[in-house]
Structures are given as C-alpha cells and as structure tokens.
Structure 1
Amino acid sequence: MEQDNTQPTTLEQSSTAPTDQAGQSTQDIAESADQIVAVSTDILQKAEGFVTTLLRPWNAYQLGIALGLFIAAYLLTRIIGPKIHTWMRSREGWPKWRMRLLVLLHQRLRAIFFIGLVWTTVWIMREVTWPSRSYLLTVIANLATAWLIVSLATRLIKSPFLQKLVSYGAWIWVTLRILNLTGDAEALLDSAAVEIGSTRVSLWLILQAIVLLGALFFAARFVSSTTAARIQSNEEISPSMRVLVVKFTQVLLYGAAFFIGLKAVGFDLTGLAVLSGAIGVGLGFGLQKVVSNLVSGVIILLDKSIKPGDVISLGETFGWINSLGARYVSVVTRNGKEYLIPNEDLITGQVVNWSHSNDFVRLDIFFGTAYHDDPHKVRAIAVAAAKDVARVLSIKAPVCHIVGFGDSSVDYILRFWIDDPTGGLTNIRGAVYLALWDAFQENGISIPFPQREVKVLDSPTARALETD
C-alpha cells in the first residue's frame, strides 16, 4: 500500500517539471522585457533633459554660433578650395602617396575649416567667459573632430561595404562616448538577451564579438599579406613550398583570430567540439570531392611534383601553371585560356611535367628526302639548319638519323633540345621545319611526294581495249 501511495507522487512530479520550466522561461522573458523598458525610459528621460537644455538662451546662442561657423567654413571652401586644387595640380613630381593624402584632405576641406574655426571659438569663449557658456560648442567640436578622424582612418579599408560598416559603427561609438551615453547604451543592449543552455547571449555580447572579430581578422589579414610578400620574395624557398607556407600561415592566423575573439567575449567553446564532430561527419559523406581536392593540394605542395611556372600536359591541355589553389590548379595555355584543373586529377591522372627537374626538353621532327639525294649530305644539312634556329641549344647538339626507307622517300628523324618550354613547342617545331625547307632549297635536296605506278595486266578486257 505504501508503494501505491508513492507512485502517484512520482508521476505528479514528472508531469509538472515541463510546466515549471515553461514558467521559468516566461518569467525570464518578462524580466528581460521589464529591464529593457526601464533602460529605455531612462535614456528617453536623459534625451528629454538634453533637449530641454538646448532651449536655454546660451545653448541656443551656441547653436547659432555653430551654424554661423559652418557657413563660414563653406564660404572658405568655395574661395580657397579652387586655389588649393590648382596648387595641387602643379605638384607633378611629388610621390603618389603624398598626392593621395592631399586629395583626401582636399575632399574634406570644409570639415577641416569648420573644426579649426569651432576650436578657435571655444578657446576664445573660455578666455572671456565662463566654461559653461561654451559647453555645447565643445561637444560639437569634439564630435566634428572625431568624425573627421574616423573618416580619414577608414579610408585604409579597401572593401566599400566593410568601410561603411566600420565608419558608421565608429561614429556611433564616438558619439555615445562624447555624450556620456555608453553606459546606458551598454545596459540597453545587454538587457536584450536570451539563454542558450548555460550561455547568455545578448545584443551587447554579439556586438562585442563582431567588433573584436573584425579587428582580429583585419590584423590577421595584414600580417598574412605581409608574411606572404616576404615568403614569395625569398628565392631560397622552392615555389611549391612558398605556397604551402603561405596557405598554412593564413589558416593558422585566421583560425587563431576566430577562437581568440570568441574566447575574449566569453563565448563557451566547448560546444564547438560537438559542432566540429558534426561537420566532420558531413564532410565525410557530402563533401568527399572537396576534401579529396584539399588533401590532394597539400600532397602536391609537399611532394613538389608541380610548382608555379612548370609546363605540364594533362590530356589535351598543354600550358604552364599559373597558381596553386586549395581546390584546383590554374593552367594557362598558349591561346590565353585558363583551365582550373582539380587537384585530384593531378594526383590520380598521368601528368607530363616538361620542367619538373630541369627545363631541358627534347623535340623530334620527321621528314623525308628523295632516294637520289645523298643521306650523309642530308643529315649534315639538317643538323646545320637546326643549329641556326635561335631557341635550339648548342650545348646539346641536334642529331639526325635515318629511321626507314619509305615507298617514296628516305625517312629521317631530327632531334634537338630547348630550355624554355614556356615559350611554346609548336612554334619552335615550325621554325625548324622552315629552316630545313630553306636549307634543302639552297642545296638542291628534294622532298618527294607519294608516287604510284599503275600496270595493266594481260587479260581479255585489256586486249579488247587495245583492239578498239
């Protein structure tokens, strides 16, 4: 009987657990909403007080003074700006970076004049009257100066989207900082939060993560580009090893920036272990080709089988390697086409590397002469003609051999070497053929064409034709 009495109690506890969790979640949402309302009300009260102070006589005077200074800055820009522009056009011998800086400052000439005038006015008013009489002008001067600095600094960012994003974000932060509203803004953003397991994610945390990750990625990109330039200029390192070191450095820097940024804002990284396991399973089943190409690219860089600048043949594709990528190899042909060949094809397929260990390439051409021409003379003339071609090497002298007696000609093979396969193979063959043609014409060597002799046998049909 005691067991019967305890069983309903256990069932009752298990059935009420979800209800308690739902009630707790509803209570957390209500508390977050109340906190947002309280912070927003406080900010609105401060904004209302700030607007009220603007209606005071001295504050209205300061706004009028600021408006007058802005008009004066506009007039100065219209008067002095063209003269400065004419002076800039006469500085033709100046370095490019200096001219770009002058152009950048000339585009913001009105803001520079306004900042100079407003700070001069603030200094004069502090000397002749109370500091409170120039408080609003000081705020305006600080805002204008900060906005100008942000505008000049963000010009270093090449991406237009990222440049605007950083500009607006920096302007908002500077404005809140000058107006002493950073604490209220932080409280408002932090009040909008949700609980994900044991982690509390708020708008303030997301904003911190975006800013910090952006700064770290910018630093990682700057360091990786600088390191890549130094590595690529080091002639002691092989080209394939340079690419491998650059790729490894980029992965290391960007990975470190990502994990350091998340850790710095307080994000729990233990959940990434499960995520990485799920990604690994997905890669194993759905991205086999991609992973295969990535691994093949690493193998190519490690075994140094091909490198940028090598001349290769893969199937009907003949060209030189332009760059090695993580997924593909860029091969540029003689007709200007660029083929993106997957790394896996270079590992599993048969590739002819014309310049793997050295740049020496032997080429063969075939020709034939008439039977009445002296073969010894033909061989000497062919070798001498090949030596006169510019790209044919003299240190590996051309050779000519008889390879057979054909139906209409004596067949020869002429072999010669070059050391610049990137210059093309078809064109050098054509040049040697043309040299042979000129040499044979000068020395009376004939190149025969196929000849056929037709003999009519004795038959009734032949005799009938002869009778007719």
Structure 2
Amino acid sequence: MSQQQPLLNLIDDLTGDLHEPSLLWQLAAIILSVIVGFGLARLLRKRFGRRRHEEHQGGVLGFGVESFGRVMAPLAVIGLLALSRVILAQYHYTHVNWIKIAMPIFGSLAVIRFTFYLLRRVFARNGRTISPGMLAFEKIFQLLVWLAFVLYITGLWIDVFQFMDDTILPIGKYKVSIADILQASASVAVLLMLALWAGAALEEWLMKMPGMHTNLRVVLSRTARAVLILVAVLMSLSLVGIDLTVLSVFGGALGVGLGLGLQKIASNYVSGFVILLDRSLTIGDMITVDKYSGKVTQINTRYTVLQGLDGMESIVPNEMLVSGAVQNSSLSSSLVNISTKVSVAYDTDVDFVIQLLTEAAATVERVLKDKPPSTTLTSFGADGLDLTVSFWINDPQNGRSGVTSDVNRAIWRALKENNISVPFPQREMRILGPVPAALSEPESTTVPK
C-alpha cells in the first residue's frame, strides 16, 4: 500500500461526512463537549481551591483536583466525545469521523499539559524560575507529541513503528531495536517523573501538617522520596529487562567507592539524617559554626543553608555541624543577653547614673520587661568610670546590632538630658630638653613686599 493511501482515506472520510446528516450533530457534540468540559473543570478547580483556602488544608479529593486541574478539561472533553459517539451510534449515525479526529487532539493536549505539570511541579516549585533548558525541552516534547498525533491520524504510525522495530542496533554483544530503546527510555523517564512528583507532593503535604515537628517532617519527606525513586528505578530496570541480580555487583562496587573516595559525601548524608533525627538544629534557629552564622533556612541531606542578617547565604556541610562545636541561640530557649559599655566622668553620681542607664535601656521595645536590664560598674578607666549595661531579648533572629543601637541611643539621650558628660581621651605632650630653634623663633607677622 502506498504511504499516501492512509492520508487519502482520512481526507475521503472527512469529506464524506460533509454530505452526511450526522455532520451537524458531530459539530454540535464537539462544541458542546468543549464548553461543558472546560466549564466543569474550571468550576471544580474554583470550588475546591476556595475550600482549600478557607480550611488552609485539603483532603485527598481536593489535592487531586488541584493536582490534575490542568488535564481535567481535555480529559473531560474526551469523555464527553466518547459519550456523544455512543449516543449517535444508537441513532444509527455511524459516520463520526470528525469526532474520531477530535478525540486524539484533546488526548495529545492532555498528555502535553500533564507532562508540563509534572516538570514544573518537580523542577520549578516554590517560586523557582523556569530555566531556558526546561522551556526548550517543553517545546521539543510538544513538537514530538503533535508529530505522533499526525502520524496516528494519517495511519503512518504503524509503518514508522514497524521500521523502528526492524532496525537493529548492536550494543556490545547484544542487538537491540530502536523501538525497544525508545520504549525503555520512555518507561524509565515516566516512572522517575512520577516518583519525583509523588515525592514532591508528599513533601508539600507533610510540611503543611500541624502538630508535627519540622525535623520529623523533613526526615519523612526525604525518606519517602528516596524510597519512591528506588522503587521507580527497580521497576524501570525490570521493564527494560535488566536482571536485578547484577545490582549485587554494583552494590559491592558502590561500597568500595564509599570506602575510598565518597566517604565525605556519605558522611554528609548520614550527618544530615542525624541532625534531623536528634533535633539539635531546626529550621529558623540562629546558629554560629566556625566563621559562619545566621538563621537555618534549609536542612538538606548533604548540606544546611544559613542566611545571615545581611542576606548572604552560606552552605555548610552537615558533617561540620555534627563533628564541630555549634552555638545555637534557639536550642532550648531563644533568650539572649546583650551588653553595651558606657563611660562617664569621675565626678558623676554613680548610683544615679546606674539607675538612669537601666531605665533608659528598659524603654527600648525589643528589650524584655520580665527580665529587666541591669547596669554594673565594671572598672575605673583611665578617663572615667566604665559601666556595662546588660539586657535580654527573645528574638535573636532579628539581629543584635539594631537593638544595641536603639539602647545606645536611649542611653545617649538620657545622659544629655541630665547633663552627664561622657569622657574622651585627653593627652598632654611635654618636650624634655632644649627647645629646637625652629620652634623657639616667633612667627613673622609682617607681610613681605
């Protein structure tokens, strides 16, 4: 049969329906299915989206509607078209070629939307920008789907698949057809994408669960994702036809690799789970390790992200947090004591200035009132009396320099209002021996002519 014959048959079938009384019914069924399908999908998304927003959490049904909202419309159109085809057949309208063409069109649209949803759900979550590589892949995948649709409706898909199945490629001592390679690659990609999507959805659901410790949520989500990926890989290998017993050899090689060159990476992964399980660190804690300090924003399996008060983020390996000393300002209590030093003149009333500085520090908003500030006379300095003002705060994540500046400004205003002087260093210079001639001659005040 000529390759143009399936396309000619398709054109003949479509043009033949133009003279059939079922044409108007087919067009009406297509238009009505599109309107009802997209309208129903929009109504369901809006209804369950409003319910999830009001309840701040959703059940399984709401999560499913939200997850498959983008593919719900074309799938609903396909279902309605199939129902219309059955109804028209009951009235002896057997020529429904326009409906037969419309169904794979919306099927291709559903495949494209679902694939785009999986990609962006896995790789572009939490406000991440879509990379140019992902956009290029989406365009290529969309082109391949529509190309497959064209091959299907023209009847050329069987010939193309037969050609790929007959084309054998030698790979080592094995011979594999192009069709087998493409099927294996597609099965592996689909299963891995589904595993990553399920892991991401489970992680998002766990992070919104109330009454569960943050570290426990992270541990469960990381473990579930690892298990899902492992199951997907094993199922993919089984579908491809690879004997799983060969993994024992791979496991031995992996053990040797971990013992030699990958021990640091393995140590970081193990340390990540140790941190999450013993709850020594929690997201939101203010910590200092080595020369890095900041708020813990992420605890990953290999590293932890610290965000400094200046916005700079530091990536700290988890092994450093387990094996080294860590200063945690929020482990058991978020209370932090801060002190600032002040000097006053020696002729100042010490008791009065101590009370004055204590009251000035207590006027700052971030300074705790249930643990009042205190002022102590620490030393007798070379230029005045050295005093230390100590105060407590319970929000170290907001920084220390700001509240210290506010306390210093309140102290300065109190000192100025009570005319208390703050001494500054004064030094006298004495010249021993005869005065140099250059310094002893008086300056001339006459104006040269």
TM-score over 0.5 (shorter chain): yes
Match of 1:145 in 2: 103
Query: Which one has the largest radius of gyration?
Result: 1
Shift of residue 326 of structure 1? 2.5
Shift of residue 142 of structure 1? 1.9
- Compared with structure 1, are the counterparts of its residues 152 and 197 closer, same or farther at alpha carbon in structure 2 (3 Å cutoff)? closer
Q: Tell whether the 8 Å contact from 1:311 to 1:319 is kept in structure 2 after alignment.
A: yes
Match of 1:384 in 2: 359
Match of 2:203 in 1: 228
3-state DSSP of counterpart to 1:144: helix
Match of 2:221 in 1: 246
Q: Tell whether the 8 Å contact from 1:369 to 1:447 is kept in structure 2 after alignment.
A: yes
- Compared with structure 1, are the counterparts of its residues 395 and 275 closer, same or farther at alpha carbon in structure 2 (3 Å cutoff)? same
3-state DSSP of counterpart to 1:435: helix
Name which of structure 1's ranges 276-285 and 195-204 shifts more when overlaid on structure 2.
Answer: 195-204
Shift of residue 251 of structure 1? 0.5
- Compared with structure 1, are the counterparts of its residues 53 and 341 closer, same or farther at alpha carbon in structure 2 (3 Å cutoff)? closer
Match of 2:302 in 1: 327
Match of 1:262 in 2: 237
- Compared with structure 1, are the counterparts of its residues 381 and 125 closer, same or farther at alpha carbon in structure 2 (3 Å cutoff)? closer
Match of 1:40 in 2: none
The letter for the 2-side match of 1:339 is S
Higher helix content, 1 or 2: 1
- Deviation string 1:155-176 (CA, Å, 9 cap, x unpaired) is 2333353686388459738965
Match of 2:148 in 1: 172
- Give, in whole Å, the separation in 1 of the partners of 2:14 and 2:335: 85
Q: TM-score, normalised by structure 1?
A: 0.67
- Deviation string 1:395-450 (CA, Å, 9 cap, x unpaired) is 21211111110111111111111000011111111111111101111222221111
The letter for the 2-side match of 1:142 is K
Q: 2:316 aligns with which of 341, 348, 357?
A: 341
Q: Which runs of 5+ in 2 are unaligned?
A: 51-65, 120-134, 443-449
The letter for the 1-side match of 2:232 is A
- Compared with structure 1, are the counterparts of its residues 53 and 257 closer, same or farther at alpha carbon in structure 2 (3 Å cutoff)? closer
- Deviation string 1:33-66 (CA, Å, 9 cap, x unpaired) is xxxxxxxxxxxx48576468679xx658428769
The letter for the 1-side match of 2:384 is S
- Give, in whole Å, the separation in 2 of the partners of 1:60 and 1:150: 20
- Give, in whole Å, the separation in 2 of the partners of 1:53 and 1:234: 57
- Give, in whole Å, the separation in 1 of the partners of 2:142 and 2:296: 38
Shift of residue 275 of structure 1? 2.6
Shift of residue 384 of structure 1? 0.8
1:62 and 2:38 aligned: no
3-state DSSP of counterpart to 1:270: helix
Shift of residue 250 of structure 1? 0.7
Q: Tell whether the 8 Å contact from 1:147 to 1:171 is kept in structure 2 after alignment.
A: no
- Deviation string 1:350-390 (CA, Å, 9 cap, x unpaired) is 43221122211111111111100111111111111111110
- Give, in whole Å, the separation in 2 of the partners of 1:384 and 1:283: 61
- Give, in whole Å, the separation in 1 of the partners of 2:3 and 2:385: 103
The letter for the 2-side match of 1:172 is A
Match of 2:446 in 1: none
Q: TM-score, normalised by structure 2?
A: 0.70
Q: Tell whether the 8 Å contact from 1:199 to 1:267 is kept in structure 2 after alignment.
A: no
- Compared with structure 1, are the counterparts of its residues 51 and 460 closer, same or farther at alpha carbon in structure 2 (3 Å cutoff)? closer
- Give, in whole Å, the separation in 1 of the partners of 2:153 and 2:280: 58
The letter for the 2-side match of 1:421 is P
The letter for the 2-side match of 1:430 is S
Q: Which runs of 5+ in 1 are unaligned?
A: 1-44, 82-86
- Give, in whole Å, the separation in 2 of the partners of 1:445 and 1:224: 65
The letter for the 1-side match of 2:203 is A
Match of 2:187 in 1: 212
3-state DSSP of counterpart to 2:341: strand
Q: Tell whether the 8 Å contact from 2:294 to 2:308 is kept in structure 1 after alignment.
A: yes
Shift of residue 273 of structure 1? 2.2
Match of 2:113 in 1: 155
Shift of residue 221 of structure 1? 2.9
Work out the percentage of aligned pairs sharing the same amino acid.
Answer: 28
Task: Note the 1:248-397 alignment, pairs <5 A.
Answer: 248-397=223-372
Match of 2:400 in 1: 425
- Give, in whole Å, the separation in 2 of the partners of 1:170 and 1:270: 40
The letter for the 1-side match of 2:406 is A
- Give, in whole Å, the separation in 1 of the partners of 2:175 and 2:371: 75
- Give, in whole Å, the separation in 1 of the partners of 2:280 and 2:337: 20
- Give, in whole Å, the separation in 2 of the partners of 1:127 and 1:257: 47
Q: In the comparison of the two structures, how many residue pairs are matched?
A: 394
Name which of structure 1's ranges 148-157 and 384-393 shifts more when overlaid on structure 2.
Answer: 148-157
Q: Tell whether the 8 Å contact from 2:168 to 2:176 is kept in structure 1 after alignment.
A: yes
- Give, in whole Å, the separation in 1 of the partners of 2:402 and 2:14: 83
Q: Tell whether the 8 Å contact from 2:10 to 2:154 is kept in structure 1 after alignment.
A: no
Q: 1:404 aligns with which of 375, 379, 387?
A: 379
Q: Tell whether the 8 Å contact from 1:150 to 1:167 is kept in structure 2 after alignment.
A: no
- Give, in whole Å, the separation in 2 of the partners of 1:311 and 1:154: 44
Q: Tell whether the 8 Å contact from 2:101 to 2:153 is kept in structure 1 after alignment.
A: no
Q: Tell whether the 8 Å contact from 2:295 to 2:397 is kept in structure 1 after alignment.
A: yes
Name which of structure 1's ranges 186-195 and 234-243 shifts more when overlaid on structure 2.
Answer: 186-195
3-state DSSP of counterpart to 1:294: helix
